[in-house]
Structures are given as C-alpha cells and as structure tokens.
Amino acid sequence: MTPSTEPGLVLPDGFLMGASTSAHQVEGNNVSSDWWALENRPGSFVAERSGDAADSFHRWPEDMDLLSGLGFNAYRFGIEWARIEPERGQVSRAAVAHYRAMVRGALERGLTPVVTLHHFTSPRWFSELGGWTSPESDELFAAYARTAAEILREGVRYVATINEPNMIALMHTLVRRAVRDTGGGDGSPAGGHGEGAAALGPGAVEPDAEVTRALIRAHRAASAALKEAGPGLRVGWTVANQVYQAEPGAEEVAAAYARPREDVFLEAAREDDWIGVQAYTRHRIGPDGPLPVPEGAATTLTGWEVYPEALGEAIRHTAGVVGPHVPVLVTENGIATDDDGLRITYTTGALASLASALRDGVDVRGYLHWSALDNYEWGSYRPRFGLISVDPHTFAREPKESARWLGALARAGRIPEHPAAAPGALPCAG
C-alpha cells in the first residue's frame, strides 16, 4: 500500500523536488572518455560495459517529459566533457548545441536544471596527461568550464563543478595500490561512482592527498571562470557523505576517519553558493576502526545497510562544517533494490529525516533522488536505483510506483515527517 501524500511538512517556496542522473551512466556510447576506454580494454577489471546505457543522449526529451508529468520540478543531469572537448582544444559545437537544447528542454517542461560538469568521467586525453595529477589540471578544467558556460547561460541557476571529489581521490589511492600490489595493471585513474567506492569500506584507504589538493584547485578555478562568464550562476560541488557514527569511546577515531575522507572537501565549499549532499547509508566506527553491517540488518543490492536516517544525519553534519551561510541541496539519495515498496519505505524515512532538519532551521533547498532511471552503475546494470525502469533492448521507459508516489509529493509540496509504518523489519533487498 502506498503511503498517503496528504500529511507532512509543507515545503518552502522554491524547494526543488526531482531526480538525478549522470551523463555517462545514461547517455550511452561515450567513446572519447577515459571510462569508455577502461571498460573496453582487454582484461579490464570492469565487469560490464556501459554500451548504449539508457540511450538518454537521444531520448532525453522523453525522460524529461516523464519527470515533468510525474510532478517533479527539477532534474539534475550531467554534461560530458569528453563529448564537448573530445580532443584537447577541439570543442564540438554539436555537443555544445545538444546540451544547450537539454537546458532549454528542461526549462520548457518546468524542470529546474541542476547541471554537473564532471561526474567521474574525463576525456581520454586528459587522463593520458595525468588527469588530476597533471600540473595543468586546474587550467584545463577551468577552460572547459568557460566553454560549458555557453550551455549554462541558457537559464541554469545551479551548477556543480565536480561530483564527489572525495570518491575521485579515494579511487586514485585504490588504483595506485592495485598497481603496486600486482606489479602492473592499467593504472587508470578514471575512478568510480561514490556508491561503488563506498562499498569498499570507509576505512580501507584514505583519499590521495595530492589529488585532493588538485581537485580543490580545479574546483576553485572553474568556479571563478563560471562566475566571470555567468554572474547569475550558483556554483558548488557535491560530496559523498559517509555518515560516520562513533560507537561509545570512538569519537576521536570517527573524527579521524571523517577528516580526510569528507570534511576537507566540505571545508573547501565554505565560500560556495551551495553544497550538494549525497547520502545512502551509514558507517559505524568503533575504537579500532570501521565495523561491519550489523548482523541481521536489511541490506541493498549493493550490500549496504538499509538506513534511511543517513540523509538527515548527512545534512546536519554538512551544514555544521560548511556553516549556515551555505545552503544545502540534496543531489543524491536513494536505494538499490528490486523491491519498489522498499524504495518507498526507505525514501519516506529519508525524507522524514530531511523534514526534521528543515524544522530545526537547516537551510535545505531541494531533494533530488538517485536515480531518475535504472542505469549503468560503474561496472554493472544489476543495482537498480531508478524511479523509472528502462528496458535494455527497446529502451522503453516505465515509471515505477515509487516515481508516482514521489512525484505526487512534489506536486503537493509536502514531504513526510515520519518514517513509513512497516510490520516487522524492513525486507532484505540484496
């Protein structure tokens, strides 16, 4: 039974309610990117190729029609650097025109576009230069941002420079360790999605310090370029919030884990126009470090604990680090499951924790669910985060009940203040 959309907290005027995607995960055939090269390299560790993905490069009007028709007022999507600049200094005017049309299309459908410039994938040429470790990385990224401003000037307010920089820096460490341990490997720093990286464990490694510094420089350089090119743009970036929970006596240990893996990236956003919160589950920290998922806890298709309260805790932690003058935008929150009833139950709890933060005065400007579509989750199509299913052969879209439920909330301008009632424990999704 679908929870009622009637009761709940009335959302502030202008609150964004929608869903998110990333370019590589839904567009398909991103052939000039480093991830495409990695997927298609003989012997690659990537289990499944992205291929056509959801073919959203061609079917984006249908996707936006669905989101608008469901009742949403916002859509976060990415523009792909590898399409816009497939070779260094060579700008594809066709790609620029394509993304400008997407921005116009969103606005025509009543969807506020939230645009991400970099969502884990880079042009192959950029990675071959050393990627974020290249001494030119900040200048190259700022030059791309200036080109992207032509797209953003079509009417974009919110732009994210880099998605989950903490996960990018973490993946650099993991790749370097793999190369060291195997005496070879491809050494690609392409990285992976926050969902995948988080599953490796919050304490396995620390993000690469050099890459961390480089990402912060690139973010600031791109922000300055965007502000110069489009004075009305609201610029920020998004962070993968790990929700480190200290067991009694482990408070200092948890803080030590959070500092390099999350907080340094939040601190870098203190002068930004907004900060993106991306939360899915929690990580418990004991005196000796990370603890496993509690025995008997429900888990998802990615093996994470079903813990919807993570969203509210991530919002509060982020606001506490960046300060009250930087608004929060939830740019990702969701669950990998084949049980759509569980998706509704989980999201009800997550929204209730968001409502609590709003009531306590935290400046939250929107909620964008991950993901609009079932898509490519960085090596596998098995984890299904989507509100809308996609047939892998025909690409036919079908909204799930969760999409209709969440869209009705968006249309009503209310979100639940209490988790959904459920008999017994939540079902296990994975």
Q: How far is CA 250 from the centre of its chain?
A: 29
How many C-beta atoms surround the C-beta of residue 110 within 10 A?
13
Can you name the residues that pair with 329 across neighbouring β-strands?
276, 366
Give dist(CA 284, CA 286) in Å, integer: 7
Question: 377, 196 in Cβ contact below 8 A?
Answer: yes
Give dist(CA 162, CA 216) in Å, integer: 10
Can you name the residues that pair with 367 across neighbouring β-strands?
17, 330
> What is the model's pTM?
0.94
Closest to 70 (Cα-Cα) out of 62, 78, 80 = 62
At 16-62, the pLDDT tens digits run 999 999 999 999 999 999 999 999 999 998 999 999 999 999 999 99
When pLDDT is averaged across residues 386-409 and rounded to a whole number, the result is 98
According to CATH, the topology of domain 9-415 is: TIM Barrel (3.20.20)
Phi, psi (rounded to 5 degrees) for 388 = -125, 125
Question: 416, 348 in Cβ contact below 8 A?
Answer: yes
Q: Is the pLDDT of residue 90 over 90?
A: yes
**What's the confidence (pLDDT) of residue 297?**
97
- Strands 414-415 and 9-10: what pairing? antiparallel
When pLDDT is averaged across residues 98-104 and rounded to a whole number, the result is 98
Q: Is the pLDDT of residue 193 over 80?
A: no
The 3-state DSSP composition of the chain as helix, strand, coil percent (nearest 5) reads 40, 15, 40
**What's the Rg (C-alpha) of the chain?**
20
Per-chain mean pLDDT for the chain: 92
At 399-415, the pLDDT tens digits run 999 999 999 999 999 99
DSSP string covering 103-136: HHHHHHTT-EEEEEEESS--BHHHHHTTGGGSTT
Out of 184-188, 314-318, 331-335, 409-413, which region has the weakest mean confidence (pLDDT)?
A: 184-188
Can you name the residues that pair with 330 across neighbouring β-strands?
277, 367
Give dist(CA 243, CA 312) in Å, integer: 10
3-state secondary structure of 9: strand
Q: Is the pLDDT of residue 232 over 70?
A: yes
Give dist(CA 211, CA 242) in Å, integer: 19
When pLDDT is averaged across residues 72-81 and rounded to a whole number, the result is 98
Residue 27: C-alpha distances to residues 23, 101, 122, 395 (Å): 5, 15, 15, 12
Give dist(CA 43, CA 66) in Å, integer: 39
Closest to 80 (Cα-Cα) out of 26, 23, 131, 126 = 23
Spell out where 195-291 has E strands. Answer: 234-240, 244-246, 274-278, 283-286, 289-290
Here the tokens at position 96 are 């620029």
**What's the confidence (pLDDT) of residue 187?**
47
The pLDDT-based confidence of 181 (bands split at 50, 70, 90) is low
At 325-372, the pLDDT tens digits run 999 999 999 999 999 999 999 999 999 999 999 999 999 999 999 999
When pLDDT is averaged across residues 310-317 and rounded to a whole number, the result is 98
Residue 14: C-alpha distances to residues 5, 117, 329 (Å): 19, 23, 12
Can you name the residues that pair with 90 across neighbouring β-strands?
87
Residue 183 CB partners (closer than 8 Å, separation 6+): none
